[in-house]
Amino acid sequence: MATQTHVGSCHCGKVRYQVELDLEQPVNTCNCSMCGRSGTMLQFVPESAFTLLSGEDELRDYGFNQHKIHHSFCSNCGIKAFARGSGPGGDNVVAINVRCLEDVDLKTLKVHEFDGKAL
């Protein structure tokens, strides 16, 4: 396992976070109505692996479908750098938009395509 600390942010930088994750593990793309439009590339981590460094007051929440995931976005620039929710086992998780991580070469990542439209 190659868990490393990464820093991520929204476009304007008001929302910043630190996360421990393993980018040797696949990241997820999804074709659901939300992810397909926003182009997110996600990796889910336990809530304990995530620290919001700044911008809590800038975050707005959007929920849809079953409202199990809180899609947070920066009220200034609109970027969705992460989302919070509960995993299949009921544990709190954070969906990290790896496109918002600093110094990550997206071409090197293993991508799993999730068929969210089928749900």
What the chain holds in terms of domains, given with CATH numbers, is: 4-113 (2.170.150.70)
pLDDT digits (tens, 9 = 90+) for 5-26: 999 999 999 999 999 999 999 9
Kindly state the tokens that stand for 104: 């990550």
- Kind plus residue range of the DSSP H or E element containing 33: helix 33-38
**What count of Cα atoms within 13 Å lies in the side-chain half-sphere of residue 16?**
8
Quote the pTM value. 0.90
Q: What is the pLDDT of residue 113?
A: 86
Q: Convert the pLDDT of each residue in 29-88 to its tens digit.
A: 988 888 888 889 999 999 999 999 999 999 999 877 666 788 899 999 999 999 999 888
Q: In the Cβ-directed half-sphere of 81, how many Cα atoms lie within 13 Å?
A: 32
